[in-house]
Structure 1
């Protein structure tokens, strides 16, 4: 028969033999926790889960099928535990870890911080909520991908021309000459990290000293600068609450793990071996 050649059929037969063999060797395992109670609360939970999925209540026949499926699942779950099938299973280990972490997050979601807590967190982590600094400026670019004496001489010429108010032509480049209301993030993306911080130190309406970037050298004149500001709590309360909960979740997980670790003696074989070798 074709069925006898199917790998899935072999898997089912082998699984059934293992199941029967285990029961024969451990007859008491089936007696342990043998009562399965499907009470009104459980039925309501199963029905509610169906309703969330299908946006309607289950029919009597569907509900009977849901309950039968739960009973089969519970039987197989308990027997799998009795047979130790959960032992050393990386998928189950990962799922249990996720579930415990989820329960931790759920506990945090029930904790409501006061407005003073959120205000304190806002002031403690301003970098997460402050508005971006903005700059309007013009720049003259000098390409440094040439002998150092050449580009330094060009810088001196440009500085002299700017001092005299003359028309200036820097090196050819795709970089714009004028920037209007550009954020510090955009500036650092274009010129390289830290360039916006250097611009913040340049006096308004004055040509700067040469500023080095990842692209070359720039002489810059800033016409407008709006520093980063921390908004009032009312303007960012939802964002602050979200970040506060994320932070609290990390703290709670760390505290829980630290507390749980005290219940165990942890031995890392490689470290113990190294210690023994050091004493010998």
Structure 2
């Protein structure tokens, strides 16, 4: 009898009620999902979301969506959000190289977002050019003719060149067929590189103008070349290469911003690599 009274008194204690309620809540969470936070299960499609969906539809179809079409987009948005959250709960984002790379790219974008909108002044760009003088040089330009000889030059090449320079022979009589331009006008060194190869372009620097010379080699074989005009390369002015300088400056700012962010993040981590002390 005494034990029954003690048990009844114990059951009426507030602490026992609290613990009992906690156990019930824990049991509910255990049965319906681990650590189920009600706020994490709330999906709200607000006016901004609806405006975004409507604008996206109008951009694709050149008209606003009907109510049924809008309802369909909203339903799709809800379904995607549900699947997205459930995928995260199951850990499907972990150890997935595609997801990892996408998140890595997004973080890099966020780290450089502030610098992306900066517009450098001409003074800043000119200072950047002055700090990197060898990077902004206008390449030489050439007006030239070329005769493709094939993989090997004829044994009497000196006589061939003499006849060309004297006008006794025409280039069409000597040239072998190839899908390369026979003449170039105001062609930069870079443009010639892309068509004939760097070896060919370098050889042009040592050639004199106004007469046939060679043979010189390209990636295709041997050529005779006649330079009719040459404009030597020179240091560029800002007006010549403004976009390139702006792009280079911005890339450097982004790299610096990313390095600062990475240093801040990395300081929070204890990194261990197998084989390193």
Which residue of the partner structure matches residue 46 of structure 1? 49
Q: Deviations over 1:188-212 (max 9, x none)?
A: 3443223223213323325545433
Q: Deviations over 1:68-119 (max 9, x none)?
A: 7766666665555455443333343233222212223422223332322222
Q: What's the secondary structure of 1:267's corresponding residue? A: coil
Contact 1:141 1:218 in 2 (8 A): yes
Give TM-score scaled by structure 1 length.
0.61
Classify 1:250/1:204 alpha carbon distance in 2 versus 1 (closer, same or farther; 3 Å).
Answer: same
Q: Deviations over 1:212-251 (max 9, x none)?
A: 3334444433221123456543455445434432343344
Q: What's the secondary structure of 2:228's corresponding residue? A: strand
Give yes or no for the alignment of 1:112 onto 2:119: yes
Give yes or no for the alignment of 1:24 onto 2:27: no
Give RMSD over aligned pairs: 4.4
Give yes or no for the alignment of 1:136 onto 2:137: no
- Residue of 174, 180, 187 corresponding to 1:182: 187
Give TM-score scaled by structure 2 length.
0.62
Q: What's the secondary structure of 2:142's corresponding residue? A: strand
> Which aligned pairs between 1:28-177 and structure 2 lie closer than 5 A?
29-31=35-37, 33=39, 36=42, 38=44, 43-55=46-58, 77-78=84-85, 80-122=87-129, 124=132, 133-139=140-146, 142-145=149-152, 151=154, 153-159=155-161, 161=163, 165=166, 167-168=168-169, 171-174=174-177
Classify 1:159/1:60 alpha carbon distance in 2 versus 1 (closer, same or farther; 3 Å).
Answer: closer
Q: Could you tell me which runs of 5 or more consecutive residues in structure 1 were left unpaired when the two chains were aligned.
A: 1-20, 276-280
Q: Could you tell me which runs of 5 or more consecutive residues in structure 2 were left unpaired when the two chains were aligned.
A: 1-26
